[in-house]
Amino acid sequence: MSDSPAKAYLGVPVRRPRVAFFELSSCEGCQLQILNNEASLLDFLSLVEVVRFREGMSGGSDEYEIAFVEGSVTRDDEVGRLQKIRETAKVLVAFGSCACFGGVNQLKNRFCLDWVKKEVYGDHPVETAEVRPLDAIVQVDLRIYGCPVKKEEVEKIVTHIAIGSDITYPRYPVCMECKANGNVCLYDLGEPCLGPVTRAGCDSWCPNNRAGCWGCRGPSDDMNILQLVDIMKRHGFSEETILDRLECFGGFSGHLEGLKK
């Protein structure tokens, strides 16, 4: 438990929980998002006591209540490390698409690993295994989606954790945010987009910048893959393009059986 003085949020006393950030196999871009946008960084840090964060501090403590874990599990030593984090943390947060779904890393699972190791590393020995998300190894209490995560959403979720408020995710797809932002539909610009089936919450980050959604946040509630396939085919996209996009981050892996031949 933290002895740090309580802060107040909207007049409500807030006890700052001790949090730690960890990374498994990842680019660590989600952790870097926390350090971006310095204008809100101090407000964020006022809500929590960060006791371990390799990207932003030296040293650290192994006494924490909330663990944010970025990255997917790709080696046996990561399994043991994740299990130890789980034993310590009261709350374990899967932080970003790699932690939630396997992320871009899980594309490796398409191939024979022996061939991949030989092609990339030659005769140099390297330990690697099938890529798995965190919940394939341990219980995950909370997920923060995205590649990378969106800092504003992280700050909102951490605020809810700090004040003990319920955390809810949007049930609707990215298309809803995209339309609310007044964007031209990417399909009308000749760009494939998973906005119709991807969970919202990013404020249509990619479509706002004229880039089609790649589904890094995983499926929205009640999404319809077959309807998406129909939309993409009507706009001239091949089945290979459709599958490549749906398989990119791993969030739709449980919904593709009927699409693969």
Residue 1 lies in a domain: no
Query: What's the pLDDT at 1?
Result: 38
Please check whether residues 96 and 186 belong to one and the same domain.
no
Please check whether residues 223 and 145 belong to one and the same domain.
no
Query: What's the pLDDT at 13?
Result: 63
Query: What's the pLDDT at 2?
Result: 43
What does the alpha-carbon distance between residue 257 and residue 187 come to, in Å, rounded to a whole number?
25
Within 13 Å, how many C-alpha atoms sit on residue 131's CB side? Answer: 25
Residue 2 lies in a domain: no
Give 168's pLDDT tier (boundaries 50, 70, 90). Answer: confident
Taking 80 as the threshold, does the pLDDT of residue 24 lie above it? yes
What is the count of structural domains for the chain?
2
Please check whether residues 69 and 136 belong to one and the same domain.
yes
* pLDDT tens digits, one per residue of 236-251: 999 999 999 999 999 9
Q: What is the mean pLDDT of residues 112-134?
A: 87
Please check whether residues 155 and 28 belong to one and the same domain.
yes
Please check whether residues 64 and 98 belong to one and the same domain.
yes
Residue 61 lies in a domain: yes
Give 40's pLDDT tier (boundaries 50, 70, 90). Answer: confident
* Domain final residue, candidates 144, 163, 182: 163
Residue 191 lies in a domain: yes
CATH code for position 64: 3.40.50.700
Give 45's DSSP letter. Answer: H
pTM of the model: 0.89
- 219 sits in the region (left: phi over 0; alpha: psi -120 to 50; else beta) called beta
* Domain final residue, candidates 128, 163, 198: 163
What does the alpha-carbon distance between residue 212 and residue 192 come to, in Å, rounded to a whole number?
6
User: Is residue 202 within 8 Å of 176, Cβ to Cβ?
Assistant: no
Q: Which residues contact 184 (CB under 8 A, 6 or more apart)?
A: none
pLDDT, greater one: 4 or 172:
172
Comparing 81-90, 97-106, 108-117, 118-127, the range with the smallest average pLDDT is 108-117
Please check whether residues 52 and 137 belong to one and the same domain.
yes
Residue 58 lies in a domain: yes
Query: What's the pLDDT at 7?
Result: 58
Residue 169 lies in a domain: no
Please check whether residues 22 and 148 belong to one and the same domain.
yes
Please check whether residues 157 and 178 belong to one and the same domain.
no
* Mean pLDDT of all residues belonging to the chain: 90
Taking 80 as the threshold, does the pLDDT of residue 9 lie above it? no
Burial of residue 133 (number of CB atoms within 10 Å: 0-12, 13-18, 19+): buried
Domain range holding 247?
A: 174-255
* Domain final residue, candidates 163, 185, 205: 163
Query: What's the pLDDT at 3?
Result: 47
What are 139's strand-pairing partners?
A: none
Please check whether residues 154 and 225 belong to one and the same domain.
no
- AA identity, residue 227: Q
The torsion angles phi and psi of 95, rounded to 5 degrees, stand at -110, 95
Please check whether residues 187 and 210 belong to one and the same domain.
yes
Give 10's DSSP letter. Answer: T
Residue with tokens 């800092």: 151
Residue 131 lies in a domain: yes
The pair of structure tokens assigned to 87 is 């034993």
Please check whether residues 186 and 214 belong to one and the same domain.
yes
Please check whether residues 115 and 230 belong to one and the same domain.
no
